Amino acid sequence: MESDNNDAVLKTETINNETWYYIETEDQLRSIAYNDETLARNYIQQPDIELTSEWITIGDDEHPFTGTYNGNGYTISRLCYPVGEKKYTGLFEYSKGGEMYNNTLLSPDTFYPRLLKFKLVYQTCQNMCLRRKLLACRSAFLCSGRIILHYIGYLINALHHLGD
């Protein structure tokens, strides 16, 4: 599994006979990837979360995310990962039957320092394109009949070269 430990304590609430775990901190967000049990839970984000270090994606081919993640309209910012480390990148690397919705992810450009002032919004799903089951999804959201992939390297590269 991706996470080394699961020290994060999560508040819970029962909604419609389902247990929901509140994600309020970066450590709690990272704890989702701990094991198959945590990958199968229902989560709801409370405040905006700003990441302080490189992101390790949630779920993989052997241990997919099968739960539900409701971003609750909040933002996860500073989402960045080392170049070439993973085959797939994003908040969730691999999901099988999981649901991710109402999320906004912001990623500063960590590869081109001149673009640090820009934040690029991607992988945004709002209420109108929610609640669609994602089967064997690799870092993509199915929204309004279209797949929004987060691979934005070409765009960043193009913007970088415009400044030359």
How high is the pLDDT of residue 88?
66
Query: Which string of DSSP letters, residue by residue, matches 39-50?
Result: HTSEEEE-S-EE
pTM assigned to the model: 0.64
How high is the pLDDT of residue 146?
32
**Burial class, 83, CB count within 10 angstroms (exposed 0-12 / middle 13-18 / buried 19+):** exposed
How high is the pLDDT of residue 105?
81
Mean pLDDT by 10 residues, the chain (164 residues): 58 94 96 94 95 87 93 88 65 87 73 37 32 35 35 44 48
Tally of CA atoms within 13 A in the half-sphere of 16 that contains its CB: 1
How high is the pLDDT of residue 38?
95
Residue 157 backbone dihedrals phi, psi, to 5 degrees: -60, -45
Q: How far is CA 8 from CA 30, 33, 34, 153, in A?
A: 9, 12, 10, 33
Query: Which string of DSSP letters, residue by residue, matches 10-40?
Result: --EEEETTEEEEEE-SHHHHHGGGSSHHHHT
Q: How far is CA 141 from CA 1, 36, 79, 163, in A?
A: 23, 21, 16, 31
Which strand (E) or helix (H) includes residue 96?
none
Which strand (E) or helix (H) includes residue 121?
strand 119-125
How high is the pLDDT of residue 10?
92
How high is the pLDDT of residue 84?
61
How high is the pLDDT of residue 40?
96
